Chain A
């Protein structure tokens, strides 16, 4: 079972620079879709890769959909050689994205993020606009309803902000 609190706590504890993206970012922004994994866009400098390894190694990360008997070494070299990794860990499935479609690498994802407090932790979370941009770039049919939902969330927020504004007129 996914333990987002544990994942975010340990990532922060080891000073991993990341942006929460994907379904969990959607949930944090108000989406009602259910998701079983955590997606993050991570910075690819050496220090951050090492921090990411320190964070996840105790939770036995392994590539999903790969035979269990295949050797997988979760180290900086492996992370440097790849970009995106779909991992299964003791605290849930975690997908690591070096690059986010429609957005770019970590620095770009950061520009499309906002700081949210989740479980008392200050997290960079992809904005609704960023989520829409990324989903649109993927061009997958299954994302169409998600995009519609995100657009509705933007509208509901606008309505609420306008209402708040009305109080002061």
Chain B
């Protein structure tokens, strides 16, 4: 039984899953897990907005170059 379970972790690693994150998450309370996830969502949202701003700036620069 133990071998089968050990396989589950190895299988996850093979799939590219960072199991260190799972060990970390499991050590937290459910609320802490949700809060950590919420912070990641907020960070992802900020990065998305930053990317959008950068693309908009680049397009403006291209337009300016075309005008000159």
**A interface residues (Cβ-Cβ under 8 A, vs B):** 1-2, 4, 24, 27-32, 34-36, 116-120, 125, 144-145, 148-149, 151-160
Contacts and interface: CB of A to CB of B under 8 A. Distances in A.
Contacts of A35: 37
Interface residues of B, number: 29
Contacts of A1: 41-42, 45
B33 A28 contact: yes
Q: Is the interface of B mostly helix, strand, loop or mixed?
A: helix
A100 B48 CA distance: 32
B22 A30 contact: yes
Contact of A153 (B15, B22, B29, B34): B22
Interface of B: 5-6, 8-9, 11-12, 15-19, 21-23, 25-26, 28-31, 33-34, 37-38, 40-42, 44-45
A152 B17 contact: yes
A155 B6 contact: yes
Most-contacted residue by chain A among B11, B19, B28, B30 (CB, 10 A): B30
A152 B8 contact: yes
A31 B44 CA distance: 17
Nearest to A160: B26
Nearest to B38: A4
24 contacts: A2-B41, A24-B34, A27-B33, A29-B33, A30-B22, A30-B25, A32-B18, A34-B37, A34-B40, A34-B41, A34-B44, A35-B37, A117-B29, A119-B31, A145-B15, A148-B11, A149-B15, A149-B22, A152-B17, A152-B22, A156-B19, A156-B22, A156-B26, A157-B26
Contacts of A155: 5-6, 8-9
Nearest to B36: A27
Most-contacted residue by chain A among B8, B16, B28 (CB, 10 A): B8
